[in-house]
C-alpha cells in the first residue's frame, strides 16, 4: 500500500471525521466516564464498555467510536491514581508504577508523581498514535513474524526482569518468582485439563486465581495494613512537597526515556497474545538499566514512574493493531470493543483483515481519537492531581476502611464468588509476609502474570517444533532459532547479567534490617513446604498429560532448589546477615503502635460478616465500628462517614449494574437491592 496515495488522503478524511464539535463532545463524555470508572481498581475498561454497549446499537459509527475510544483510552491514565496514591495496582498496565510512585506519595510528592505519570502517559499516547499511523500499513507481516517461539522468548525476556527486581538476595527473588508461577498454575490446565492444586469439590479453584485479586493482595493489602498500623497519613509528615509543575518538568527532563519506553510500549503491544502484562515491567527494567544512579529505585525515583507510564498508554495504541487487523482482541476491553463496533451503524464496519482495505479512514480515526482522548484525559487528570494528592495528608485511619471496601468490591467483581474475598485475604497474607521478610513482591507478581503465557507458549512451541523436527533437523532448527528469537536471547542474557549486578542496589522494600533467625526460617520452611506439596501434586498427573505437569515440575523443582540453598545459607550464616531481613525488628513496622494481627482482624471481620449478612450490611457494621473504635471519632461522624461510603458504593454499583457479595442471610430471606 502506498503511503502517499492511499494513506494520506485517508488520514485527511479521518481528521475531517473527528474534528467536529459533536464528535469531540462525545469524546469528552467518554473520557469523563472512563475517568470515573477507571478509579476502581480492576474494573476499568471492561465495566465501562459494558455500560456503553446497549447504546451502541445503530449509533452513528464515528460518534459511537468517539464515546468508546474516549473511555478505553483513559483507563490506563486514571488507574495511576490508585497506583500512586494508595499503592494499589489499578490494572496490569500500572503494576510497575506502584514501585516508585507509591514511595513518592509517602514522601509527600504525590502531585509530582502523578503529573509526571500523566505527562508521560500523554506523550506515550501521542508517540504511539504517530508511530501507528505509518506502522499500521506494514504491520501485518511483522505481526505474523511473531510465532510461538518468538512469543515464548518475549515472555522469558519479561521474566528476566526478575533479575533486576530480585532484591539483595537473588535466590530469594528467583524463589519468589517461582512461587508466583506456581500459584499461577493453580486450577485446570489449559492444555490437557488436569487439575493442579485444585479439586472439582472446590469449583472456585479450578478456574485459577485472577490477576486483580493477586495484584491487590500482593501490593495493596500489605501497604494498607502497614500504614494503618502506623496510624499516620500516607505522606509521612502530612505535608505536600513538590507540586504538579515539578512532575511535568521531571518528565521533560527525561523526555528521551519517555520516547524509548513509548516505543517499547507500541512494539510489545502490537504482538497479540501478550497484551499489557509484560509491557510495564520491560519498560521499568529498561529504565533501571539506563539510569546512572540506581540507588533511588524503589524509594521514589521519578524515572521509575515515567518509564512504565510512557509505555502503558502507547501500548493501548499498539494493541489496536491485532484488534483491527486480525480481529483478535489484545485485552478484555478490546474484545468488547470488537463486539460493540459490529453494533454501530448498520454494521458496515467489520473488524478484521479487511479493515485496512475498506475502512482505512475509520482505522485512522480510531488511532487519532485515541491520541485526542489521551490529551483530554491527561489535561483533566493533571488539573485534578494537585487536589487529589491532598488525600495523602489525611490520617490513614479515615481512608483505610474505604480502601478495604473498594478492594473487596473490586475483588468480588472478578469472579462474583464469596471465595474471591477469601482468596484476597489469603493472598494478602502472603503479600504481608513477602514484604516483611524482604522477598521481592514484584518478582512474585511477574511470575504470576507470566505463568500462563510461559506454560502455554512452551507447550505449544515444543509441540510444533517436534512436529517440524520430524520433517527434518534443519526445518526444526529454522523454526526455533529464527533471527528474532536469537536477538531476543541475546537481549535477555545481557539484561540478566546486568540485572543481577544492579539488583543489590535496588531495594523495592527499602533497607530492611536483619535480626533473629527464627521468623525468616519458619517462613522459608512454609514456602518450601508449599513447593514440595505442589510438586507431589503435579507428579500425580498421569504421564500422557505431560503438557500439564512439566512446567509445575520444572519450576517447582528449581524453586525448591533455591529454597534448599537458602536454608543451607541460613544455617551457616550468623544472625544479622541480610538473609534474615525482617521488617518487624526495626523501622516503621516495628515502631507502629498497632499490631499486625489486630489490624488484619478488622479486614477479616468484614469478610466474615459478609459471609453471614452480605456485603452491604457487613459494610455498615464495619465502617461504623471502625470509625468509632479504631479511628476514635464520634458516633455522629462515624455514621456520617459510613453513610458516605455506602452511598458511593451503591451509586457506582447501580450505575455499572453490579451485584454485591451475598451472605447466608440473603440465602434465607429475600431482601431488596442493594441488600440482596
Partner 1 sequence: MTISKFTTAAVAAIVAAGISTPASAEVDFSGKTIEWIIPFSETGGSAKWANFFGPLLSEAMPGNPTVVVKFMPGAGSTKGANWFQEQKHEDGTTMFGSSGSTQFPYLLNDPRVRYEYKDWIPVMASGTGGVAYLNPEDGANFDGSANALQDIDFIYGSQGATRLDLVPLLAWEMLGMNVEPVFGIKGRGDGRLMFERGEANIDYQTTSGYLGGSLDLVAEGKAVPMMSWGALDADGNIVRDPTFPDMPSFKEVCEATDGCETSGDAWDAWKAFFVAGFPVQKLAFLPGDTPQDVVDTYSAAFEAVVGRADFAEISAARVGKYDVFTGSGTADALATATSVSDSAKTFVIDWLKEAYGVELN
Applying CB under 8 A, which residues contact partner 1? Answer: 22, 46, 49-50, 53-54, 57-60, 63, 144, 146-148, 190-193, 200, 203, 206-207, 272-273, 326-329, 332, 335-336, 339, 342-343, 346-347, 350-354, 415-417, 456, 459-460, 463-464, 467, 470, 542, 544-545, 547, 657
How far is residue 636's CA from residue 134's CA, in Å, rounded to a whole number?
61
Residue placing its CB nearer to partner 1 in the complex, 243 or 339: 339
Residue placing its CB nearer to partner 1 in the complex, 291 or 414: 414
Characterise 438 by phi-psi region: left (phi > 0), alpha (psi -120 to 50), beta (else): left
- Where do the H-state alpha helices sit in 221-359? 221-230, 244-253, 255-270, 279-289, 303-321, 332-343, 355-358
Residue placing its CB nearer to partner 1 in the complex, 147 or 510: 147
Closest CB 147 distance from partner 1, rounded Å: 5
Closest CB 223 distance from partner 1, rounded Å: 30
> Which residues lie below 8 Å from residue 644, measured CB to CB, with a gap of 6+?
none
Write the burial class of residue 632 (CB in 10 Å: 0-12 exposed, 13-18 middle, 19+ buried). Answer: exposed
Residue placing its CB nearer to partner 1 in the complex, 50 or 578: 50
Closest CB 320 distance from partner 1, rounded Å: 15
In the Cβ-directed half-sphere of 71, how many Cα atoms lie within 13 Å?
A: 27
Closest CB 76 distance from partner 1, rounded Å: 18
How far is residue 632's CA from residue 408's CA, in Å, rounded to a whole number?
23
Q: Decide the pairing of beta strands 187-188 and 195-196.
A: antiparallel
Residue placing its CB nearer to partner 1 in the complex, 550 or 564: 550
Closest CB 89 distance from partner 1, rounded Å: 21
Closest CB 7 distance from partner 1, rounded Å: 20
Closest CB 63 distance from partner 1, rounded Å: 7
Closest CB 612 distance from partner 1, rounded Å: 20
Grid cell at residue 402: 474505604
Q: Count of CB atoms within 10 A of residue 474's CB? A: 10
Residue placing its CB nearer to partner 1 in the complex, 92 or 385: 92
Long-range contacts of 351-355 (CB under 8 A, 24+ apart): 351/323, 351/324, 351/327, 352/325, 352/326, 352/327, 353/140, 353/325, 353/326, 353/327, 355/324, 355/325
Residue placing its CB nearer to partner 1 in the complex, 22 or 532: 22
Residue with grid cell 539510569, as numbered in its chain: 291
Residue placing its CB nearer to partner 1 in the complex, 289 or 482: 482
Point out which residues pair with 187 in neighbouring strands: 196
Residue placing its CB nearer to partner 1 in the complex, 57 or 568: 57
Residue placing its CB nearer to partner 1 in the complex, 329 or 499: 329
SS3 state at 581 = strand
Dihedral of CA atoms 405, 410, 413, 414 in degrees, nearest 10, equals: -140
How far is residue 568's CA from residue 171's CA, in Å, rounded to a whole number?
12
Closest CB 465 distance from partner 1, rounded Å: 10
Cβ distance 262 to 629 under 8 Å?
A: no
> What letter does residue 325 receive in the DSSP assignment?
I
Grid cell at residue 118: 500523566
Closest CB 114 distance from partner 1, rounded Å: 30
Closest CB 271 distance from partner 1, rounded Å: 11
Residue placing its CB nearer to partner 1 in the complex, 113 or 351: 351
Residue placing its CB nearer to partner 1 in the complex, 72 or 235: 72
Backbone phi and psi for residue 188, each to the nearest 5 degrees, phi listed first:
-75, 130
How far is residue 365's CA from residue 13's CA, in Å, rounded to a whole number?
8
- Nearest Cα neighbor of 326 from 305, 302, 354 is 354
The angle, 0 to 180 degrees and rounded to 10, between the axes of the packed helices 441-471 and 546-572 is 140
- Where do the H-state alpha helices sit in 438-482? 441-471, 473-480
Alpha-carbon torsion 586, 592, 598, 599, what sign?
negative
Closest CB 366 distance from partner 1, rounded Å: 17
Amino acid at each position: 500500500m502506498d503511503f502517499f496515495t492511499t494513506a494520506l488522503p485517508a488520514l485527511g478524511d479521518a481528521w475531517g471525521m473527528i474534528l467536529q464539535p459533536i464528535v469531540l463532545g462525545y469524546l469528552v463524555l467518554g473520557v469523563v466516564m472512563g475517568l470515573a470508572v477507571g478509579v476502581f481498581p480492576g474494573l476499568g475498561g471492561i465495566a465501562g464498555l459494558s455500560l456503553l454497549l446497549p447504546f451502541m446499537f445503530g449509533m452513528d459509527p464515528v460518534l459511537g467510536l468517539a464515546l468508546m475510544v474516549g473511555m478505553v483510552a483513559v483507563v490506563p491514565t486514571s488507574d495511576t491514581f490508585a497506583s500512586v496514591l494508595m499503592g494499589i495496582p489499578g490494572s496490569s498496565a500500572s503494576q510497575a508504577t506502584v514501585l516508585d510512585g507509591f514511595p513518592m506519595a509517602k514522601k509527600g510528592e504525590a502531585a509530582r508523581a502523578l503529573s509526571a505519570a500523566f505527562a508521560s502517559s500523554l506523550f506515550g499516547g501521542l508517540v504511539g498514535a504517530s508511530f501507528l499511523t505509518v506502522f499500521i500499513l506494514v504491520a501485518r507481516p511483522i505481526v505474523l513474524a511473531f510465532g510461538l517461539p518468538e512469543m515464548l522468548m518475549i515472555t522469558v525476556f519479561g521474566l528476566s526482569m526478575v533479575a533486576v527486581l530480585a532484591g539483595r538476595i537473588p535466590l530469594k527473588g528467583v524463589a519468589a518468582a517461582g512461587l508466583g508461577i506456581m500459584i499461577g498454575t493453580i486450577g485446570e490446565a489449559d492444555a490437557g485439563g488436569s487439575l493442579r492444586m485444585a479439586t472439582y469439590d472446590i469449583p472456585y479453584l479450578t478456574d485459577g486465581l485472577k490477576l486483580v485479586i493477586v495484584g491487590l493482595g500482593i501490593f495493596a493489602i500489605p501497604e494498607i495494613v502497614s500504614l494503618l498500623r502506623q496510624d499516620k497519613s500516607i505522606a509521612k509528615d502530612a505535608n505536600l512537597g513538590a507540586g504538579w509543575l515539578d512532575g511535568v518538568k521531571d518528565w521533560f527532563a527525561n523526555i528521551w526515556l519517555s520516547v524509548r519506553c513509548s516505543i517499547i510500549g507500541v512494539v510489545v503491544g502490537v504482538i497479540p497474545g501478550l497484551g499489557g502484562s509484560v509491557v510495564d515491567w520491560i519498560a521499568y527494567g529498561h529504565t533501571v538499566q539506563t539510569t546512572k544512579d540506581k540507588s533511588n529505585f524503589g524509594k521514589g525515583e521519578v524515572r521509575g514512574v515515567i518509564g512504565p507510564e510512557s509505555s502503558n498508554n502507547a501500548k493501548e495504541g499498539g494493541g489496536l493493531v491485532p484488534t483491527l487487523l486480525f480481529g483478535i482482541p489484545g485485552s478484555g476491553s478490546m474484545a468488547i470493543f470488537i463486539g460493540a463496533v459490529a453494533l454501530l451503524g448498520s454494521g458496515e464496519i467489520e473488524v478484521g483483515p479487511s479493515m485496512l482495505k475498506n475502512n482505512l479512514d475509520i482505522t485512522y480515526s480510531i488511532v487519532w481519537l485515541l491520541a485526542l482522548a489521551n490529551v483530554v484525559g491527561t489535561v483533566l487528570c493533571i488539573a485534578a492531581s494537585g487536589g487529589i494528592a491532598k488525600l495523602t495528608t489525611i490520617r490513614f485511619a479515615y481512608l483505610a476502611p474505604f480502601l478495604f471496601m473498594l478492594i473487596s468490591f473490586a475483588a468480588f467483581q472478578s469472579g462474583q464468588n464469596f471465595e474471591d474475598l477469601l482468596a484476597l485475604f489469603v493472598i494478602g497474607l502472603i503479600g504481608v509476609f513477602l514484604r516483611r521478610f524482604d522477598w521481592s513482591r514484584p518478582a512474585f507478581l511477574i511470575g504470576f502474570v507470566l505463568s500462563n503465557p510461559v506454560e502455554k507458549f512452551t507447550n505449544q512451541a515444543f509441540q510444533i517444533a517436534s512436529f517440524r523436527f520430524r520433517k527434518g533437523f534443519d526445518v526444526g532448527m529454522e523454526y526455533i532459532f529464527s533471527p528474532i528469537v536469537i536477538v531476543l536471547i541475546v537481549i535477555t542474557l545481557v539484561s540478566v547479567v546486568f540485572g543481577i549486578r544492579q539488583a543489590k542496589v535496588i531495594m523495592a522494600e527499602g533497607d530492611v534490617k536483619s535480626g533473629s533467625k527464627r521468623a525468616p526460617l519458619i517462613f522459608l520452611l512454609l514456602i518450601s513446604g508449599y513447593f514440595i506439596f505442589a510438586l507431589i501434586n503435579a507428579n500425580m498427573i498421569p504421564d500422557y498429560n505431560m503438557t500439564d505437569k512439566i512446567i509445575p515440575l520444572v519450576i517447582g523443582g528449581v524453586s525448591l532448589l533455591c529454597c534448599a540453598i537458602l536454608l543451607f545459607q541460613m544455617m551457616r550464616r550468623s544472625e544479622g546477615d541480610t538473609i534474615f531481613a525482617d521488617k518487624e525488628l526495626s523501622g516503621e513496622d516495628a515502631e507502629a503502635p498497632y499490631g499486625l494481627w489486630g489490624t488484619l482482624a478488622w479486614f477479616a471481620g468484614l469478610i466474615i460478616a459478609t459471609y453471614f449478612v452480605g456485603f452491604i450490611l457487613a459494610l455498615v457494621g464495619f465502617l461504623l465500628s471502625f470509625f468509632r473504635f479504631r479511628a476514635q471519632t464520634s458516633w455522629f461522624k462515624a455514621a456520617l462517614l459510613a453513610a458516605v461510603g455506602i452511598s458511593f458504593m451503591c451509586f457506582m454499583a447501580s450505575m455499572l449494574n453490579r451485584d454485591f457479595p451475598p451472605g447466608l442471610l440473603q440465602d434465607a430471606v429475600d431482601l431488596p437491592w442493594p441488600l440482596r
